[in-house]
Amino acid sequence: MDTSKVLHMNGGLGNNSYARNSSIQKNVISMTKLMIEEAVMNLCSQTTHATLVVADLGCSSGPNTLYTVTEIVRAVENLCKVTGHRPPEYQVFLNDLPGNDFNTLFRMLPDFQEKYPKSEERPRCFFSGVPGSFYGRLFPCNSLHFVHSACSLHWLSKVPKHIENNERNICTARTSPPNVLEAYHEQFHEDFTMFLDCRAAEIVSGGSMVLTIAGRRSNDQYSNGCCYVWELLAMALQEMVSEGLIEEKKLFDFNVPGYTPTLEEVKSKIENQGSFSISNLVVLEVNWGAYDSKINSGVSSEGEGGINVVKCVRAAVEQILLHHFGDGIVEGCFDRYKKLFVDRVSKEEKVFTDVCVSLIRK
Ligand SMILES: C[S@@+](CC[C@H](N)C(=O)[O-])C[C@H]1O[C@@H](n2cnc3c(N)ncnc32)[C@H](O)[C@@H]1O
């Protein structure tokens, strides 16, 4: 599977859209607010910029990217109040894969401007959409001051090769053979290094980058976080195979292009690539149950008879399931997924883990 041709979050503003089901990611971004603020302060306290060029990579089609831009702009404007400097204009590039629903995102831009009721206090933000993979060059050399990317770099550029023996698993899992674990790690290494090479070319010396990556704490590749999301999805698909609703071979042929690194893995790839210094590196954790006030009853706090976390997962992975299995299995798969999820979360405490790093271009 070539991720750039298949992957996109559910578009539009409907019940299953990413725009309406991305509260987990919003919470993760809000936990990194301080890190974003520190990076921006560091960037702007050294030089004044007439135009600050900002890019959000893997922006998707919901409100979270505009929330991030708001936080970046707020940090700059606050700093300018303290220093007495005139605030810059902002050129903001919103990047995602070509299949992303950029139109839904662009329709949210007037609301972004209207958040500032007095027109004279409105920051001058000039937005552009940039379709393309962040595992390649997206911008000219030395053209960016600040790069942000949240909850996106766990998506690999493709499913690793030679993992046919992963069988009933759909990603790294407890029962994955060692070659599968190695292949996923190798693909992450290749992709993340390419990502850093490209950004090293594009970001000016002294420029900043804040990355939040769905990750894991333990060295076991199947320990928790995203792997757990995939493990439950694999169980739902396996149930459908047992019931004769999906061919076993179809499941054996399906693997997801996802990898959740540890803090140590992220650190070592950055150090080996060599173009950035690390100014902050932390692990963040969010409890799954925190998103569902009525988790045990199976009724979501949004009152739509679903579970918020399950809906967030569906908004993110539905398209790759559709691509491989066709649309006949999707409802059944997510009904089973919801039951498995409610059962597990009521018995065990589970957390989403993210590795968050703030970098400065040397
Ligand atoms: C879970 S969403 C996160 C969106 C947003 N940053 C947020 O935090 O809500 C991940 C996004 O990364 C995008 N993505 C994945 N691989 C990508 C790539 N190689 N290049 C650009 N975008 C990518 C996906 O299309 C998706 O929109």
The atom of ligand 1 lying closest to the CA of 28 is 8
Q: How far is the CA of 161 from the centre of ligand 1 (A)?
A: 22
Q: How far is the CA of 193 from the centre of ligand 1 (A)?
A: 17
Residue 208 CA to its chain's centroid (Å): 19
Domain encompassing residue 280: 3-361
Ligand 1 within 6 A of 133 CB? yes
Q: How far is the CA of 7 from the centre of ligand 1 (A)?
A: 9
Q: Return phi, psi of residue 273, to 5°.
A: -70, -40
CATH (domain of 68): 3.40.50.150
The atom of ligand 1 lying closest to the CA of 4 is 19
Given ligand 1 and candidates 32, 56, 92, 97, which is best to mutate, with the most ligand atoms within 8 Å of its CB?
97
Q: Return phi, psi of residue 63, to 5°.
A: -75, -15
Q: Where are the alpha helices (DSSP H) in the chain?
A: 3-6, 23-31, 33-46, 64-83, 102-107, 109-114, 178-202, 226-242, 248-252, 263-273, 308-325, 330-347
Pairing of strands 351-361, 276-287: antiparallel
Alpha-carbon span 257 to 266, nearest angstrom: 18
In order along its 362 residues, the chain shows pLDDT tens digits of: 777 777 889 888 988 899 888 888 888 898 899 999 999 988 888 778 889 999 999 999 999 999 999 999 999 988 888 888 888 999 999 999 999 999 999 999 988 887 776 777 788 899 999 999 999 999 999 999 999 999 999 999 999 999 989 988 888 888 888 999 999 999 999 999 999 999 999 999 999 999 999 998 876 655 555 567 788 899 999 999 999 999 999 999 999 999 999 999 999 999 999 999 999 999 998 876 655 544 444 444 443 334 778 888 888 899 999 989 888 899 999 999 888 888 777 776 677 889 999 999 99
Counting DSSP H helices and E strands in the chain, the numbers are 12, 7
The atom of ligand 1 lying closest to the CA of 7 is 25
Q: How far is the CA of 212 from the centre of ligand 1 (A)?
A: 11
Total structural domains within the chain: 1
Q: How far is the CA of 231 from the centre of ligand 1 (A)?
A: 21
